Amino acid sequence: MGHADKIAYNASFCKPDVTEELWYQRALKELFVFISKKRYIMEINTKAYNKLGVFYPDKNSFALIKELQIPIVVNSDSHYPELVNAGRMEALQELKASGIKTVMELVASKWQEAPILD
């Protein structure tokens, strides 16, 4: 599942505090619960970190991701070769600080958990 909360970025141009609204928080939680129940892997997208200082989903969602035990993968979408690792280390540090200990990696066409290393 990619860009789980990217709507907040676009909506914030019209309503800067949209992520603070109860309806938005409820909708995001419902989405995360759905992702968890389906055992989908959620992407933590780092492409905008160097420019905007944010991940998608934002680090404020990491506690919920941990609580729901959603498996995650960290990447930047690779739309631009020079940004392939942009924000990756920062995201891994934030995830680890949030108590998330593993990320998913694709190895030999199979997903497996890998520890977040220091």
C-alpha to C-alpha distances, 79 to 20, 53, 86, 108, nearest whole angstrom: 30, 18, 11, 23
Q: What is the mean pLDDT of residues 33-48?
A: 95
The listed range with the strongest mean pLDDT (49-58, 61-70, 75-84) is 61-70
Contact indicator for 2, 47 with CB cutoff of 8 Å: no
In a domain, 1, yes or no: no
pTM of the model: 0.89
Q: What is the pLDDT of residues 52-63, one digit of tens each?
A: 898 999 999 999
pLDDT at 75 over 80: yes
Do the beta carbons of residue 62 and residue 95 sit within 8 Å?
yes
Backbone dihedral angles phi then psi of residue 47, each to the nearest 5 degrees: -55, -40
DSSP H helical ranges for 1-118: 6-11, 22-38, 49-52, 62-67, 88-97
Residue 18 lies in a domain: yes
pLDDT at position 7 is 78
- Tally of domains in the chain: 1
* CATH number of the domain within which 31 lies: 3.20.20.140
27 part of a folded domain: yes
Domain, as residue range, for 48: 6-115
Distant-in-sequence, close-in-space partners of 108: CB < 8 Å, separation ≥ 6: none
